[in-house]
């Protein structure tokens, strides 16, 4: 009996040693993403020039729903503008940033509206409303579609492209007039079939982004490396779920693969530099020590260790 107990204790201790310092299997880090404003083309849809305040509200709805999943931290507008500027000045030969600064996002989400309309079939009836048109007495069918593209911020590589659409209809709803006048505010618009279709499309876009990102390893960057003390600072902290004892692998981009005809970045190759272990955590950054490897530098990629 004592021998069996000793074997059990040894097994437990061995298991503890094997997993010590690693990230728990069920642990999920929040991914930092940037969401660009939706591309509405010229803004004229279904004979209606969509107000800029409506476009902003739909963009904010997409951001909020991503945050509400509990899996993302969305960049604020100022940081997003800096990111967009950074992406615009990628060096042609290497694909790396000319400014060399650390961008606080892993992926960039860009959406383009591909359909936004409400068709109306008349069944008679309805009433005339001055300055708006005829309301009621029909069936309204609305649809809203968007194409969402997800880019790797580090390389500008296209990770995925997804389509999301919503449809809604309502009997007894007829509208023949000026959209801008009828939709006095965004809350009123959301209660219309077109508003409901828009919410559906946004919800589906969030579902598809979440599904794709769940298959993408979490990463951040080395913000600073002190060659003297060998201390490493990463640009991720407690707000994304990093805690003392977490270990990560560090990689450097060894090659960027580009289409010779279009210049589009098709992918990249990375090489492992080593492994680090977190020793101290702040809200937005953490300190770590080197477990193995050499050649660490600021800007290198820090990834969660594959399970």
Q: Are residues 223 and 195 in the same domain?
A: no
pLDDT tens profile 233-249: 999 999 999 999 999 99
Would the pLDDT of 144 be above 60? yes
- Does 14 reside within a domain? no
Q: Are residues 169 and 269 in the same domain?
A: no
Q: What is the mean pLDDT of residues 10-15?
A: 43
Lowest mean pLDDT among 109-123, 126-140, 157-171, 254-268: 126-140
Residue 229: the pLDDT is: 93
Half-sphere exposure of 165 (CA within 13 A, CB side): 9
Q: Give the dihedral sign, CA 31/221/108/103.
A: positive
How much is the pLDDT for 4? Answer: 47
Percent of the chain with pLDDT over 90: 46
CATH code of the domain covering residue 199 = 3.40.50.10610
Strands (E), the chain: 31-35, 44-45, 48-49, 72-74, 107-122, 127-129, 133-135, 138-152, 158-171, 175-177, 219-226, 231-234, 247-258, 265-281, 286-293, 301-304
Is there a single domain that holds both residue 284 and residue 139? no
Per DSSP, the residues of 33-92 read: EEEPPPB-TTSEETTEE--HHHHHHHHHHHHHHHHHTTSEEEPPHHHHHHHHHHHHTB-T
- CA–CA distance, 232 with 95 (Å, rounded to integer): 25
Q: Looking at residues 99-111, what average pLDDT do you find?
A: 71
pTM of the model: 0.73
d(CA 254, CA 260): 18
In a domain, 71, yes or no: yes
Residues 75 and 112 in one domain: yes
Q: What is the mean pLDDT of residues 244-265?
A: 88
Q: Is 220 a residue whose pLDDT tops 50? A: yes
Q: How many domains does the chain have?
A: 2
Question: Are 161 and 270 within one domain?
Answer: no
Among 213, 229, 249, the domain-final residue is 213
End-to-end alpha carbon distance in the chain: 35
Q: Over 90: is that where the pLDDT of 189 sits?
A: no
Asked, for residue 86, whether it belongs to a domain, the answer is: yes
What are the tens digits of pLDDT across the range 36-48? 899 998 878 766 7
For 198-219, write each residue's pLDDT tens digit: 999 999 999 999 999 988 889 9
The verdict on 100 and 209 lying in the same domain is yes
Are residues 126 and 253 located together in one domain of the fold? no
Does some domain include residue 53? Answer: yes
Q: Which of 257, 250, 264, 238 is nearest to 300 (CA)?
A: 250
- The whole-number average pLDDT for the span 255-277 is 86
Name the burial class of residue 197, with classes exposed (0-12), middle (13-18) and buried (19+) by CB atoms within 10 angstroms of its CB.
buried
In a domain, 262, yes or no: yes
- Whether 137 and 157 map to the same domain: the answer is yes
Residue 146 has pLDDT above 70, yes or no: yes
Confidence of residue 254 (pLDDT cuts 50, 70, 90): confident
Q: What is the pLDDT of residue 97?
A: 43
pLDDT band of 286, cuts 50, 70, 90: very high
Which pair of tokens denotes residue 216?
A: 């993408």
Q: How confident is the model at residue 269 (pLDDT cuts 50, 70, 90)?
A: confident
Same domain, residue pair 251 and 169: no
User: Do 90 and 201 sit in the same domain of this protein?
Assistant: yes
pLDDT in the model for residue 92 = 42
Phi, psi of 6 (to 5 degrees): -65, -40
For residue 191, give Cα distances in angstroms to 48, 169, 199, 289. 18, 12, 10, 54
Q: Is 207 found in the same domain as 117?
A: yes
150-169 burial code (b ≥16 CB/10 A, e <16)? bbbbbbbbebbebebbbebb
Mean pLDDT for the stretch of residues 7-21:
42
Residue 146 lies in a domain: yes
Q: Please give the residue that has the higher pLDDT: either 33 or 14.
A: 33
Distance CA 249, CA 303 (A): 5
Q: Within 10 A of 238 (CB to CB), how many other CB atoms are there?
A: 14
Judged against a pLDDT cut of 70, whether residue 142 lies above it is answered with yes
Last residue of one domain, picked from the residues 177, 196, 213 = 213
Q: Is residue 16 part of a domain?
A: no
Among 1-5, 146-150, 159-163, the minimum mean pLDDT is found in: 1-5
Return d(Cα 305, Cα 233) in angstroms, integer.
Answer: 18
Of 213, 229, 251, the one marking the end of a domain is 213
Is the same domain home to 61 and 187? yes
Q: Does residue 289 sit in helix, strand or coil?
A: strand
What CATH number corresponds to the domain at position 277?
2.40.10.410
The answer to whether position 11 is within a domain reads no
Residue 233 structural domain: 218-304
Indicate the average pLDDT of the chain. Answer: 78
Residue 114's SS3 state is: strand
Supply the pLDDT for residue 8: 42
Q: Which span out of 103-117, 160-174, 191-205, 261-275 was modeled with the highest average pLDDT?
A: 191-205
The model's pLDDT over 68-94, given as tens digits with 9 standing for 90+, comes to: 999 999 987 665 665 556 555 444 444
């Amino acid at each position: 009996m004592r021998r069996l107990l000793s074997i059990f204790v040894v097994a437990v201790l061995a298991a503890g040693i094997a997993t010590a310092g690693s990230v728990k299997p069920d642990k999920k880090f929040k991914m930092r993403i940037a969401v660009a404003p939706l591309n509405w083309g010229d803004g004229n849809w279904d004979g209606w020039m969509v107000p800029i305040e409506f476009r902003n509200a739909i963009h904010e709805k997409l951001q909020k729903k991503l945050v509400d999943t509990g899996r993302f931290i969305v960049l604020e507008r100022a940081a997003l503008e800096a990111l967009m500027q950074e992406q615009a000045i990628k060096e042609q030969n290497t694909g790396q940033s000319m400014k060399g600064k650390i961008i606080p996002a892993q992926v960039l989400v860009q959406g383009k509206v591909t359909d936004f309309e409400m068709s109306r079939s008349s069944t008679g009836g309805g009433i005339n409303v001055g300055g708006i048109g005829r309301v009621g007495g029909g069936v309204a069918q609305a649809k809203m579609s968007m194409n969402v593209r997800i880019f790797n911020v580090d390389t500008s590589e296209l990770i995925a492209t997804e389509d999301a659409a919503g449809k809604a209809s309502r009997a007894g709803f007829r509208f023949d007039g000026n959209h801008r006048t009828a939709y006095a505010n965004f809350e009123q618009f959301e209660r219309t079939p077109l508003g409901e279709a828009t919410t559906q499309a946004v919800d589906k876009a969030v579902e598809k982004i979440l599904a794709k990102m769940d298959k993408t390893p979490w990463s951040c960057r080395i913000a600073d490396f002190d060659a003297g003390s060998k201390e490493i600072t990463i640009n991720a902290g407690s707000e994304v779920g990093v805690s003392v004892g977490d270990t990560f692998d560090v990689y450097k981009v060894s090659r960027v693969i580009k289409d010779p005809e279009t210049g589009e970045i098709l992918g990249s190759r990375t090489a492992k530099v080593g492994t680090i272990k977190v020793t101290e955590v702040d809200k937005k950054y953490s300190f770590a020590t080197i477990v193995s490897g050499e050649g660490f530098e600021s800007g290198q990629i820090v990834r969660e260790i594959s399970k």
